[in-house]
Amino acid sequence: MKDRIRTNKPWVNKIKTRILGSMERAKRSDFLRSVSVLISGNILAQLISVITIPIVSRIYSVQAFGEFAIFTSTGSIVGGIAALGMGSAIMAPKEDAKAKDVFYTAFVSILTISTLFLAFSILIKPFFHLHQFSIPYLSVCLLIYLNIVLSGLSSILSIYVNRLKKTKVLFWNSLISVLATLCITIPLGLLKFNVMGFILASLCAASVAITQMLLRVNPFHRILGFRQIKEIFREYKDYVRFQLPANFISNFGIQLPNQLFSANFGNIALGGYSMCERVMGYPIRLIAAPISTIYFRHATQYVHEGRIGELGAFSLKLINKILLITFLPVALFMIFSTKIFILVLGSKWGPAGEIASILTLQYILVFCNQCIGICLVVLNKQRVNLVFSVIQLGLIALSISIGLIFLKSLMGTILIFGIGNVIVQILSLSFNFYYLQIRMKSILRSIFLFVFGTIGLAYALHSLLILFN
């Protein structure tokens, strides 16, 4: 009977063979195993977050979301330079003892820069406020300082843990962080803490994550003196000279919309954009972030072994698969995003759904860049990273300025910003694949087919819906 089945239905056997072969390759692949562990942790964490976001969206005001966006944006801008580019250098040394020295140097940098920023914020208080909140200015300054230190330490600890290939520690990290956040966010929201509920929850979550990692690894093996820290900076000077400004400019470009939208349209308008960022960021945090973490480790190994061509082919295959899988869901989401946001989050979040529809393509390309964007650091192309970061900031600033000057509305400005950011992401992918020794037309063909294909399909489906309604 079994032989007759194989003979009569060869296509079934072919599919079965392919599935079994894929499963066997996955078992043998360290990359896939590591990614699966991280993704499973992120799935659990983000599922908890997704399930509870309809609750959080209803107990916190749009203004609270907007103010928290400015809080994290300001901390992120300073945090982007706090480690002075040394965070990326933790993966570079072959000896673990040297990696610990680089880690310690990065930590000292974070403490120093964040303290200087706090002092600066307080000194200029009589003349100028860096941010506008519903809570006292000095309190916000202190909270931003704590956020920079805790977020910075958590970030470099994650890099060091990844270096040690302790994937399970990162698995628990994401899960513990989300649980800690929600256990504080929801009760404080019900108690009407407003933006303070978000801030206190984020600080506590970072503290819990740091404690969890430090209980399992100890990168603080010794205290370095000033001369030793200076030697570390000298040895890894390219990270300071090129990675630091690249990190700052790139991060500033990412945070610029939050700052400008708040300044020109207010924190309530920013709240809609912030919710869009939060919801559309789930796939990036859920899937792209763990892929990037493991990609960083494996790309470093490929480069050390001189297999750049293989790394390029692997990266191209990864991006093509992402674009193929997301093609139809993206087109459908562009049509129904507003209704989805209202249904899931509440009626006050309709504008956030409109923003999500405009920026859908941007988020998919950001997802792709998140997966492989670290390759220029691994390839030691910090100068290229810096040049592209300048281009990125210029295009984003130009697109937002055009929207503010000529369209003078939030949605109009976001539309022009979305177009500009799509161009930025395409350029970023092109830069990456050029240095991965892949022909530009290979990746550009895939991207343009995806972008214009999804727009065309979404337009066609939308027209059919209008016709039949």
- pLDDT string in tens for the chain (469-residue length): 444 444 455 545 555 555 555 545 545 555 556 666 666 766 787 788 888 999 999 999 999 999 999 999 999 999 988 998 898 889 888 888 999 999 999 999 999 999 999 999 999 988 888 778 889 999 999 999 999 999 999 999 999 998 888 877 877 887 888 888 888 999 999 999 999 999 999 999 999 999 999 998 989 988 888 999 999 999 998 888 877 887 788 788 889 999 999 989 989 999 999 999 999 998 888 788 878 878 888 898 888 888 999 999 999 999 999 999 999 999 999 999 999 999 999 999 999 999 999 999 999 999 999 999 888 888 888 788 778 888 888 999 999 999 999 998 999 999 999 999 999 999 999 989 999 999 999 999 999 999 999 999 999 999 999 988 7
Name the helix (H) or strand (E) containing 311.
Answer: helix 308-345
3-state DSSP assignment of residue 404: helix
How far is residue 7 from each of residues 16, 20, 21, measured CA to CA in Å? 14, 19, 20
For the chain, the domain total comes to: 1
Please write the tens of the pLDDT for every residue from 352-397.
999 999 999 999 999 999 999 888 888 888 788 778 888 888 999 9
- Enter the tokens of residue 303: 């480069």
Domain housing 45: 2-468
- Per the document, the length of the chain is 469
* Cβ atoms 328, 65 nearer than 8 A: no
d(CA 78, CA 130): 12
* Cβ atoms 147, 71 nearer than 8 A: yes
Stated pTM of the model: 0.80
* Cβ atoms 63, 193 nearer than 8 A: no
So what's the pLDDT on residue 247? 76
So what's the pLDDT on residue 239? 85
d(CA 45, CA 50): 9
Q: Cβ neighbours of residue 444 under 8 Å, at least 6 residues apart?
A: 426, 430
Task: Give 243's DSSP letter.
Answer: I
* Cβ atoms 248, 81 nearer than 8 A: yes
The angle formed by the CA atoms of residues 41, 42 and 44, to the nearest 5 degrees, is: 70
So what's the pLDDT on residue 22? 52
Tell the residue number behind the tokens 């899960």, with chain if given: 175
Task: Give 241's DSSP letter.
Answer: I
**CA 398 to chain CA mean position, Å:** 23
- Enter the tokens of residue 111: 């403490």
d(CA 146, CA 284): 25
So what's the pLDDT on residue 5? 44
d(CA 439, CA 395): 24
d(CA 425, CA 370): 10
